[in-house]
Amino acid sequence: MSPNFWRSIARLNFMRYVFIAIIVCALFGASNAFAQRRSPEFTDYPARVVQLRRSVKIHIHSTPYTACYRTMLRKAAREGQVFAGHYALGYWGCGTCIRLGIVDLVTGRSYATPFIASSAQGIIKVKANSSLVVIDDVENPDGHLYYLWTGRNLLQILNGKVDRRESKPDFELCAETTRSR
């Protein structure tokens, strides 16, 4: 057999391996492209809706964070969006960031986030029959921040998984602020 014959066989084998490698890469690459992360939906976190009355006495010392925000929490109880069955959600901020306040319209227990969420638009989506809170955030690659209200804490949902712990406070507690003056 001539040396040209063996070279052509070697080229064919090489081309076969290259072709197989391209197919394998295309299959694995395509499977990752089709495996997109699914955004949380309101139906994923259902809540039972309860008959409400808006005139509930707010417990402003429910958590270490709430006393500083008593005025905003009272406003949230009066005018906030109802979600998770029997909670009212309100928010306030400086224009580019917001803090959330939540009031239980049955017991009066109040809550203020120990963190600030970034939302220049101040668009927060909630539904009465869901414990999911969606904050529009242009700085986030997904465009939204997702949180789950547990009845006591607001836990962030990242990559489809709920954080088990709430963020640490990024501000001084009211008692610490008044003591330092």
Taking only Cα atoms into account, the Rg of the chain, rounded to an integer number of angstroms, comes to 26
pTM exceeding the 0.95 threshold for the entire prediction: no
Q: In this structure, are residues 114 and 170 in contact, taking their beta carbons and an 8 Å threshold?
A: yes
Choose among 45, 53, 76: nearest CA to 151. Answer: 45
Q: What is the pLDDT along the chain (181 residues), one digit of tens a residue?
A: 666 665 666 665 655 655 565 665 555 654 444 545 688 999 999 999 988 766 789 998 888 878 889 999 999 999 999 999 999 999 998 777 888 999 999 999 999 988 887 766 668 999 999 999 999 887 777 788 899 999 999 999 988 899 988 877 766 666 555 555 4
